[in-house]
Amino acid sequence: MSKKSALTSLLDPALIHEAISASFKKLAPDTQWKNPVMFVVYIGSILATLLFVQTLRGQGEGHAWFVGAIAVWLWFTVLFANFAEALAEGRSKAQAASLRSTKKNVMAKKLYHHQDRSKCLPTDSASLRKGDFILIEAGDIVPADGEVVEGVASVDESAITGESAPVIRESGGDFSAVTGGTRVLSDWIVVKVSVNPGEAFLDRMIAMVEGAKRQKTPNEIALSILLVALTIVFLVVTATLLPFSLFSATASGAGAPITVTTLIVLLVCLIPTTIGGLLSAIGVAGMSRMMQANVIATSGRAVEAAGDVDVLLLDKTGTITLGNRQASDFIPAPGIRQEQLADAAQLSSLADETPEGRSIVILAKETFGLRQSDFNAQQAVFVPFSAHTRMSGINYTDTFGVREIRKGAMDAIRKYVQEAGGYFPEAVEREVAEVARRGSTPLVVAEQSRVLGVIELKDIVKGGIKERFAELRQMGIKTIMITGDNPLTAAAIAAEAGVDDFLAEATPEAKLKLIRDHQTEGKLVAMTGDGTNDAPALAQADVAVAMNTGTQAAKEAGNMVDLDSNPTKLIEIVEIGKQMLMTRGSLTTFSISNDIAKYFAIIPAAFATTYPQLASLNVMHLNSPDSAILSAVIFNAIIIVFLIPLALKGITYKAQSAARLLRSNLLIYGLGGLIVPFIGIKAIDMLLGLLGLV
């Protein structure tokens, strides 16, 4: 989602109204105590309110308007924290509602026996059970998750993935899984139901994105413990200040002891209320950003682990390379011009609809301007590729007679040329070996008994992927390419793509061993997969992204599911995880830093009558003690509101090393957190003075 659309979603009136309503509902004690830091503020608000009522009766301390204003802004502090969490949860619930709208209760054709399609029983989809066999025909909605056991069909999965292009689902292989709620467009399939009601993929997706059901992650728990510890320390410190103040006032015979209202404000401003109020929202927003990227995370733990990943395992095909070999060069045989080779190669590929064949036609056109404008299809007989001959080509009649052109593997072309009475040049053999050494695929072209040369087909590395790997390297993340190619080919592609290492001739056992070896070294490993043979490695990986088009086994083994089935999404997932950790760290730094500035506002004001010497700490020259205390508590509340968009959108992601990130974090959010409160509190104090409230 773009920054503009993200901001638009934040400003959605319906979402804001719902969040405001939820903010008041969250004032229930059983909800508030789950956030210890804000629970202290909650108790302080109640005490301040009671003190205000007591003051109205003439029995309290200080001015009624001052105590009342403090109570109001303390309640606002609690409500603003509730609002931040409610807004984050509201976005997740809106996403869940969108998913829920795609869930339909439909009639299914349950088979008595999966091999007999002539007899079926109309059954409500809610009554289907794991192990049932159902027939799904063109136009039918898939009633439940399952595996295709018979037939092949085109399926529209746009309701789940958002991708309009239909996909093929067939029995066997890695593309046999179907998801409830999708629609069969053509043909028919027999599906074995793999889940019971309530356990379907769509049901799990809805539960996953419900912010209210999110469990805290280990890092979040650790930070919560730190915040609670700081709160307890400041609580003890604040509690001891009252007897000291009473003793000093009595011993000196001058001044007045500190009031309970001032102590409450001091405690609230000293404890890390800013990050305490935003911590939950940051976690919920992290999962929400995953959903915006069309990735379903089973828990916040998976999102957080993505931010801590040390090693990325990436499939070569479709991730690092485009997935289709493309012609990159024409290498002529001795005595043959390159343009002559290109012309013959293009003729032999005119009827070749494979990506390789299309690329040969395009390369000849772009390199030499060959367009075969005088080509007459009626004078041509195309020879399709066959596994038996391992060749394809054309028999074309022109003014010079019949031209028999073939392209194919070296051994096949050698046999074809020798049977025609020709010979295979050693120079061409050397070129074939050199092309293979570079990791490319050689296709030899011959016309009758004469070898014309070699077409080099290579896996094209995706544009910009090398730069992405360089960014990951800057972040301290190691990239490893996984491929079934031989080591020679794998090494050539790895060097061109810029990955740090590769695993060639990869087997399920080799992938599993590689992951375990890195985990033994204390590293977190992420990988993608879609096949049943990927399931063991996915189950072992710390961040396991299964493709939605993959098998049920792969999706169950992973802790994330990519609805777009885009293998390169793993890089984006790591960036989102990093962004969540960076946001939490930055706002924690800001929160702790701005507490320091609040000390200079509150402490001199709180003890001005008890310890007049502390007046020298009033570096901001605030109007009065009451103004200083009220300005600090107002700033403490409204800063949460100003930081809500940042908590939900996340800070701007940049690929940096940990050391550089720490320096940047301290400079921007540490120094910023120190300066902003001075400006904010002074501005509020001046406004209160202009309004004549102090």
- Which secondary structure element, helix H or strand E, spans residue 122, and what is its range? strand 116-124
Which residues neighbour 61 within 8 Å (Cβ) at sequence distance 6 or greater?
A: 51, 55, 67, 259, 260, 261
d(CA 459, CA 441): 9
Question: What length does the chain have?
Answer: 694
DSSP 670: I
How far is 91 from 544, CA to CA, in rounded Å? 25
Active-site residue, from 315, 352, 459, 542: 315
* Phi, psi for 84 (deg, rounded to 5): -60, -45
In angstroms, the CA 573 to CA 187 distance is 36
Q: Rounded distance, CA 343 to CA 371, Å?
A: 9
Whether residue 315 lies in the annotated active site: yes
Residue pair 160/112 in contact (Cβ under 8 Å)? The answer is no
Distance CA(159)–CA(120), nearest Å, equals: 27
Angle between helices 338-349 and 355-368 (to 10 degrees): 140
Q: What pairs with residue 453 in β-bridges? A: 332, 445
Report residue 10 CA to chain centroid gap: 19
Please give the structure tokens belonging to residue 645: 């968009």
Backbone conformation region of residue 337, classed left if phi is above 0, alpha if psi is from -120 to 50, else beta? beta
Q: CA-to-CA distance for 574 and 477, rounded, in angstroms?
A: 10
Classify residue 203 by burial, with Cβ atoms within 10 Å: 0-12, 13-18, 19+.
middle
Which tokens in the block code for residue 109? 């054709």
Q: Looking at the annotation, which residues are catalytic?
A: 315
